[in-house]
């Protein structure tokens, strides 16, 4: 029987006898590349320049988002006040929180004034304290009577659960709260007169006012700034003569918005807000003058329809 031998054929080249084992240099040597110091410095410089350009843009984007959110919220809530007036078949007030609102005197249902703040119950005082952070930014919907009330049994109603507030960093322009019964102070915005002609002499006047139960439905009344919509959704102003209320159709209303903060007082130990008299320097506009600058944002409410739109600077 024949036997066969198997020979393994290697694909490696034969090595000379006595030669030391070796491997090809391409399998052993690893060549690595690195940045030089000059190249690293150039890259770091470029990254620094890009960061310097990007950071301000990101900051402005944040401010722009706050401004857009505040504008959208105010447009929506003005529209809600109008819809409430029509659905409730009554006059609905959008009541705003001014600064130092606890300093004036409250009045009872007969118009008799009482000492400010100290005349309130502890619960009412707590409610006032909780509104410290809503100065120039807070508001609420109220009505005198509503659908279903019996004739002669009208009373004040709060139409929502709590006081609303604009997003943090957004305020209603302080000019809207400069209440003067004899000579209203007009808000001056550059180019507003040329761009937005209206029946008010081309200016933005402060809020009208009315007496509302504040800060709760069972509280004494306090004179506060407001705008009002009647059951047709039109802007109106309440006039009270000899105890009889009447309503006059008013002209267009404007709500100028600005970016800033109110530096209200806080308790050093508990960090809770406390009633502290605010001075003009405590209202910080950031950046300064943005509420009346060329980049103004003003909510325009048409008197006839009650509909709100946004007015902005228009390039000529």
The pLDDT value recorded for residue 145 is 74
The pLDDT value recorded for residue 248 is 79
Residue 177 domain-assigned (yes or no): yes
Averaged pLDDT for residues 90-118: 79
Averaged pLDDT for residues 232-246: 76
Compare 58 and 251 and report the one with higher pLDDT: 251
- Average pLDDT of the chain, as a whole number: 79
The pLDDT value recorded for residue 199 is 47
Residue 66 domain-assigned (yes or no): no
The pLDDT value recorded for residue 152 is 61
Q: Report percent pLDDT > 90 for the chain.
A: 32
Averaged pLDDT for residues 99-124: 75
Q: Which of 77-91, 116-130, 293-307 has the highest mean pLDDT?
A: 77-91
Q: Which of 34-43, 145-154, 237-246, 248-257 has the highest mean pLDDT?
A: 248-257
Residue 21 domain-assigned (yes or no): no
The predicted-structure confidence for 134-193, as pLDDT tens digits, reads as follows 999 999 999 987 666 666 666 889 999 899 999 999 999 988 887 654 555 666 776 666
The pLDDT value recorded for residue 181 is 47
C-alpha torsion angle, residues 250, 256, 261, 262 (rounded to 10)? -30
Of the pLDDT bands very low, low, confident and very high (cuts 50, 70, 90), residue 94 is very high
Residue 152 domain-assigned (yes or no): yes
Name residues whose C-beta falls within 8 Å of residue 42's C-beta, 6 or more positions apart in sequence.
Answer: none
The pLDDT value recorded for residue 190 is 66
Residue 7 domain-assigned (yes or no): no
Lowest mean pLDDT among 62-66, 236-240, 260-264: 62-66
Residue 228: which of 9, 7, 60, 78 has the closest Cα?
A: 78
Of the pLDDT bands very low, low, confident and very high (cuts 50, 70, 90), residue 56 is low
The pLDDT value recorded for residue 191 is 65
Integer Cα distance of 316 and 313 in angstroms:
9
Integer Cα distance of 46 and 43 in angstroms:
5
Averaged pLDDT for residues 94-107: 85
The pLDDT value recorded for residue 196 is 64
Residue 93 domain-assigned (yes or no): yes
Averaged pLDDT for residues 89-113: 81
The pLDDT value recorded for residue 38 is 82
Q: Are 295 and 257 in contact (CB under 8 A)?
A: no
pTM: 0.74
Judged against a pLDDT cut of 90, whether residue 40 lies above it is answered with: no
Residue 39 domain-assigned (yes or no): no
The pLDDT value recorded for residue 74 is 96
The pLDDT value recorded for residue 308 is 95
The pLDDT value recorded for residue 15 is 54
Number of domains, the chain: 1
* Residue range of the domain that includes 114: 72-312
The pLDDT value recorded for residue 137 is 96
Q: Which residues face 96 on adjacent strands?
A: 139
The pLDDT value recorded for residue 131 is 94
Residue 286 domain-assigned (yes or no): yes
Please state the three-class secondary structure of the chain as a single string: CCCCCCCCCCCCCCCCCCCCCCCCHHHHCCCCCCCCHHHHHHHHHHHHHHHHHHHHHHHHHHHHHHHHHHHHHHHHHHHHHHHHHHHHCCCEEEEECCCCCCCCCEECCCCCEECCCCCCCHHHHHHHHCCHHHCCCEEEEEEECCCCCCCCCCCEEECCCCCEECCCCEEECHHHHCCCCCCCCCECCCCHHHHCCCCCCCCECCCEEEEEECCCCCCCEEEEEEEEECCCCCEEEEEEECCEEEEEECCCEEEEEEEEEECCCECCCCCCECCCCCCHHHEEECCCCCCCCCCCEEEEECCCCCCEEEEECCCC
């Amino acid at each position: 029987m024949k036997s066969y031998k198997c020979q393994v054929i290697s694909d490696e080249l034969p090595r000379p006898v006595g030669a030391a084992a070796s491997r090809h240099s391409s399998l052993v040597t690893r060549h690595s590349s690195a940045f030089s110091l000059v190249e690293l410095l150039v890259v770091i410089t470029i990254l620094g320049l890009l960061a310097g350009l990007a950071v301000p843009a990101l900051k402005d984007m944040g401010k722009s988002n706050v401004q857009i959110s505040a504008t959208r919220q105010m447009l929506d809530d003005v529209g809600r006040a109008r819809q409430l007036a029509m659905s409730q078949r009554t006059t609905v007030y959008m009541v705003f929180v001014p600064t130092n609102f606890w300093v004036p005197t409250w009045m009872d249902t007969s118009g008799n004034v009482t000492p400010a703040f100290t005349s309130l119950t502890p619960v009412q005082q707590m409610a006032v304290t909780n509104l410290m952070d809503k100065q120039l930014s807070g508001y609420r919907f109220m009505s005198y009577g509503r659908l279903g009330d019996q004739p002669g049994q009208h009373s004040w109603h709060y139409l929502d659960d709590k006081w609303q507030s604009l997003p943090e960093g957004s305020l209603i322009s302080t000019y809207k709260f400069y209440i003067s019964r004899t000579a209203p102070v007009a808000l001056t915005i550059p180019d507003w007169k040329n761009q937005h002609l209206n029946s008010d002499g081309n200016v933005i006047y402060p809020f009208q006012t009315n007496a509302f139960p504040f800060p709760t439905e069972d509280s004494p009344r306090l004179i506060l700034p407001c705008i009002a919509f009647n059951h047709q959704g039109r802007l109106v102003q309440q006039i009270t003569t000899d105890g009889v209320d009447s309503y006059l159709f008013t002209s267009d209303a404007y709500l100028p918005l600005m970016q800033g903060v109110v530096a209200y007082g806080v308790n050093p130990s508990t960090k809770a807000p406390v009633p502290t008299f605010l001075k003009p320097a405590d209202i910080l506009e950031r950046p300064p003058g943005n509420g009346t600058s060329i980049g103004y944002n003003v909510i325009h409410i048409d008197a006839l329809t009650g509909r709100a739109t946004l007015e902005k600077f228009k390039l000529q």
